[in-house]
């Protein structure tokens, strides 16, 4: 990791650490992944803020060494209502003076300093029907941020292009910085097998929501289950909102006794499930990056994923890519990865190489360069 030139004053960066509070989501993984390497840089001084009153006491404990908590708690609902209509209050009211603000989770505050806003996907613009009601205000907030001069951070070229085309962002105010990869090693296959109730299983990870298209995975599993009576389907992830569609698909499945829904699991259990999986399935309708399939690749599990959003760019030919919402093709891909040993070995080797491209240290280095450029 490159350090600053001698005598350079550290850059003061206010960073939104709200995603660290509560159950860890994908954005929580991003914030956790970048904070430690950013805090370790001598050219930066990181001050974390959180858009919450109830969780304000938990912020300091959630931060890694070297990251300062903001001076005061931020009342989330009140400021979001205000930021819809006005450019006050400025975030420095809570953080003190800083050189750059990094809004890590779509909601960009007004600030005296330059602002960088991380936008991981545009589901809310492209597929509003798949979004929870509270996220539908994001486009208006992002457009206000752009009007104030904010720069947008995209995790992939595909999302960067969407920010220009679908959101109307000026191309010179969109930067692409790929994300890193959460630590997933150390899992025990035998523990994964016990959790799954089988030695061979197809694994899916992620919050239950319409965008993840889990009912299609149940249908694809049903199509191959009779030919593979030893194989189970396992899902681990918290309850989001899909109006019961996933539960209904499982209930109606003739193979429901071999489908396990584990709910939210801790990182150690997640690692065990990945270590023991035979195939990893990611039938999403749209993605901005795609942590779970990269995690599977990193531990040597072959991946089938849909060719949507950023997934072709991020996963490349290391994954068996299939069209969106085509159950028959998804079932065929599962069949191939369950039976073709040579094909499995090739996917596993390519997956290891692909996952090795992504690290939080590289992400932090690239973000630090963006912070420097904005501060100028």
Is the pLDDT assigned to residue 282 strictly greater than 80?
Answer: yes
What are the φ/ψ torsions at residue 154 (nearest 5 degrees)? -110, 145
DSSP codes, 252-312:
H-TTGGGEEE--S--HHHHHHHHHH-SEEEE--S--SS-HHHHHHHHTT--EEEE--TTHH
pLDDT averaged over the chain? 93
DSSP codes, 194-261:
HHHTSSEEEEEES-B-GGG-HHHHHHHHHHHHTT-TTEEEEEE--B--STTHHHHHHHH-TTGGGEEE
* pLDDT (mean) for 231-251: 92
| Out of 91-95, 190-194, 241-245, 301-305, least confident range | 241-245
Choose from 60-64, 81-85, 216-220 the range with maximum mean pLDDT. Answer: 216-220
pLDDT in tens, 16-46: 999 998 877 889 999 999 999 999 999 999 9
Residue 139: name the closest of 167, 158, 114 by CA.
Answer: 167
Distance between CA atoms of 371 and 376, rounded to whole angstroms? 9
Q: CA–CA distance from 93 to each of 54, 88, 133, 333, 342 (Å)?
A: 19, 10, 29, 53, 60
| Out of 4-13, 117-126, 299-308, least confident range | 4-13
Is the pLDDT assigned to residue 262 strictly greater than 60?
Answer: yes
Q: Is 34 helix (H, G, I), strand (E, B) or coil?
A: helix
More confident residue, 59 or 101: 101
pLDDT in tens, 159-182: 999 999 999 999 999 999 999 998
Give 3's pLDDT tier (boundaries 50, 70, 90): very low
At residue 55, the pLDDT reads: 66
Give 243's pLDDT tier (boundaries 50, 70, 90): confident
Residue 112: name the closest of 87, 142, 90, 89 by CA.
Answer: 90
Distance of CA 244 to the CA centre of its chain: 23
* pLDDT (mean) for 308-323: 97
The answer to whether the Cα torsion of 3, 358, 132, 144 is positive or negative is positive
In this structure, the dihedral spanned by the alpha carbons of residues 375, 1, 163 and 319, taken in order and rounded to 10 degrees, is 180
Is the pLDDT assigned to residue 1 strictly greater than 50?
Answer: no
Distance between CA atoms of 175 and 169, rounded to whole angstroms? 11
Distance between CA atoms of 370 and 34, rounded to whole angstroms? 14
Residue 123: name the closest of 315, 283, 288 by CA.
Answer: 288
* pLDDT (mean) for 194-222: 96
Distance between CA atoms of 18 and 104, rounded to whole angstroms? 9
At residue 257, the pLDDT reads: 98
Is the pLDDT assigned to residue 331 strictly greater than 70?
Answer: yes
Q: Which two tokens stand for residue 41?
A: 């840089």
Sorted by sequence, the CB contacts under 8 Å of residue 266 that are 6+ apart come out as none
* pLDDT (mean) for 285-311: 96
Could you tell me if 184 and 96 are in contact, meaning their C-beta atoms sit under 8 angstroms apart? Answer: no
Cα angle: 225, vertex 203, 213; to 5 degrees = 85
Residue 109: name the closest of 136, 80, 77 by CA.
Answer: 80
Could you tell me if 152 and 146 are in contact, meaning their C-beta atoms sit under 8 angstroms apart? Answer: yes
Residue 100: name the closest of 2, 5, 170, 16 by CA.
Answer: 16
* pLDDT (mean) for 102-107: 94
Q: Which two tokens stand for residue 368?
A: 């630090």
At residue 204, the pLDDT reads: 98
Residue 150: name the closest of 125, 124, 119, 179 by CA.
Answer: 119
At residue 84, the pLDDT reads: 79
Q: CA–CA distance from 79 to each of 54, 86, 94, 269, 320 (Å)?
A: 14, 10, 11, 37, 44
Is the pLDDT assigned to residue 288 strictly greater than 80?
Answer: yes
| Domains of the chain: residue spans and CATH | 11-180+359-375 (3.40.50.2000), 189-355 (3.40.50.2000)
* pLDDT (mean) for 359-365: 97
Sorted by sequence, the CB contacts under 8 Å of residue 150 that are 6+ apart come out as 103, 108, 114, 115, 116, 117, 173
Phi-psi region of 213 (alpha: psi -120 to 50; beta: other; left: phi over 0): left
Residue 203's DSSP bridge partners are 234, 280
At residue 56, the pLDDT reads: 67
Is the pLDDT assigned to residue 183 strictly greater than 90?
Answer: no
At residue 7, the pLDDT reads: 60
| pTM score of the predicted model | 0.89
């Amino acid at each position: 990791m490159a350090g600053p030139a001698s005598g350079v004053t550290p850059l003061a960066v206010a960073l939104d650490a709200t995603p660290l509070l509560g159950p860890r989501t994908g954005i929580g993984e991003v914030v956790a992944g970048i904070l430690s390497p950013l805090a370790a840089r001598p050219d930066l001084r990181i001050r974390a803020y959180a858009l919450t009153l109830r969780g304000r006491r938990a912020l300091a404990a959630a931060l890694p060494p070297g990251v300062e908590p903001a001076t005061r708690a931020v009342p989330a609902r009140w400021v979001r209502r205000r930021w819809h209509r006005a450019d006050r209050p400025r975030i420095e009211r809570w953080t003190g003076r800083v050189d750059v603000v990094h809004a890590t989770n779509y909601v960009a505050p007004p600030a005296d300093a330059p602002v960088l806003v991380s936008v991981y996907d545009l589901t809310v613009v492209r597929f509003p029907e798949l979004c929870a009601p509270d996220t539908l205000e994001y486009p208006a907030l992002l457009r206000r941020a752009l009007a104030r001069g904010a720069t947008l951070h995209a995790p992939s070229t595909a999302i960067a292009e969407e920010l220009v085309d679908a959101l109307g962002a000026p191309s010179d105010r969109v930067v692409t910085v790929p994300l890193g990869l959460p630590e997933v090693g150390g899992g025990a296959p035998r523990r994964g097998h016990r959790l799954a109730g089988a030695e061979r299983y197809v694994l899916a990870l992620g919050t239950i929501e319409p965008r993840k298209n889990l009912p299609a995975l149940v249908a694809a599993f049903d199509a191959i289950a009779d030919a593979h009576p030893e194989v189970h389907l396992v899902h681990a992830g918290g309850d989001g909102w899909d109006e019961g569609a996933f539960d209904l698909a499982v209930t109606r499945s003739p193979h429901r006794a071999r489908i396990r829904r584990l709910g939210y699991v801790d990182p150690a259990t997640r690692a065990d499930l990945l270590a023991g999986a035979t195939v990893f399935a990611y039938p999403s309708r749209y993605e901005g990056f795609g942590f779970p399939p990269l995690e599977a690749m990193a531990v040597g599990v072959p991946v089938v994923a849909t060719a949507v959003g950023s997934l072709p760019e991020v996963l490349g030919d290391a994954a068996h890519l299939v069209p969106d919402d085509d159950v028959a093709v998804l079932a065929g891909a599962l069949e191939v990865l369950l039976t073709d040993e040579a094909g499995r070995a090739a996917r596993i080797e390519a997956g290891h190489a692909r996952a090795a491209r992504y690290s939080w240290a590289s992400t932090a280095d690239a973000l630090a360069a963006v912070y420097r450029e904005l501060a100028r």
